[in-house]
Amino acid sequence: MSVNRIPVVEKILSANDSIAALNRKRFDETKTFAVNLMASPGAGKTSVILQTIAALTGRLKLGVIEGDTAPVTIDADRVIDAGMPAVQINTGGDCHLDAPMIDSGLKQLPLEELDLLIVENVGNLVCPAAFNLGTHANVLIASIPEGDDKPYKYPAIYRGLDVLIINKIDLLPYVRFNMDYFRTGVEALNPGLTTFAISCTTGEGINAWTDWLVQRSAELKR
């Protein structure tokens, strides 16, 4: 079994990358800036999305694809209640979204009407790093309660990032988290990585993050 494992994995990833390229083509043709939002469970993906929607109301039209291992629509319902279109994808227990799943979700969204699409990946710091979805940017949310050692324990996901969001910074006075140690680990893997420190509770840093989204969306439309 071990002899065949590498070719099989390579075949799966190659097929995924082919569909990811088609997804990217659709994003480019409709001029919809697409973001793959990754994080561990509880890091605050949905909270960040809801804060992003609130901050971008009247500036960008936004849609969301929600990935989950179970057939629940809680997160998608929250996005819809916030006034934006959303699609829930049940991965059937898989620990990540892949390009074919995104292709399926795109068929249920008015992509031509959207300026920004956020894909909320499954809460996991391992599997999502291996699967290209065709989005323009890979974004990771790291939260203060998770600890400052995550870049050292999960290097693959940090190497492939375009943006890092450090969430729950309002908890810094109450949690043992060495920001210098954390940033040193990040910098070793991804020098000069664009980083936003935010709090969904206080709203600190949200505007810097959403301004970046507006800028990238505008660049795509030129």
Which tens digits make up the pLDDT trace of 17-31?
999 999 999 999 999
Segment 167-201, tens digit of pLDDT: 999 999 999 999 999 999 999 999 999 999 999 99
User: Residue 6 has what pLDDT?
Assistant: 47
Fold designation for 2-221? Rossmann fold (3.40.50)
Residue with tokens 């998770």: 146
User: Residue 12 has what pLDDT?
Assistant: 59
**Average pLDDT, stretch 44-66?**
95
Alpha carbon dihedral 120, 122, 126, 128, in 10-degree steps, equals: -50
Q: Radius of gyration of the chain from Cα atoms? A: 17
Residues 61, 11: Cα–Cα separation, whole Å: 36
Confidence of residue 10 (pLDDT cuts 50, 70, 90): low
Per-residue tokens: 6: 């590498």
Extents of the domains making up the chain: 2-221
DSSP string, the chain: -HHHHHHHHHHHHHHHHHHHHHHHHHHHHHT-EEEEEEE-TTS-HHHHHHHHHHHHTTT--EEEEEEESSS--HHHHHHHHTT--EEEEE-TT-SS--HHHHHHHHTTS-GGG-SEEEEE--S-SSGGGG-----SEEEEEEEGGG-TTHHHH-HHHHHT-SEEEEE-GGGTTTS---HHHHHHHHHHHSTT-EEEE--TTT-TTHHHHHHHHHHHHHHHH-
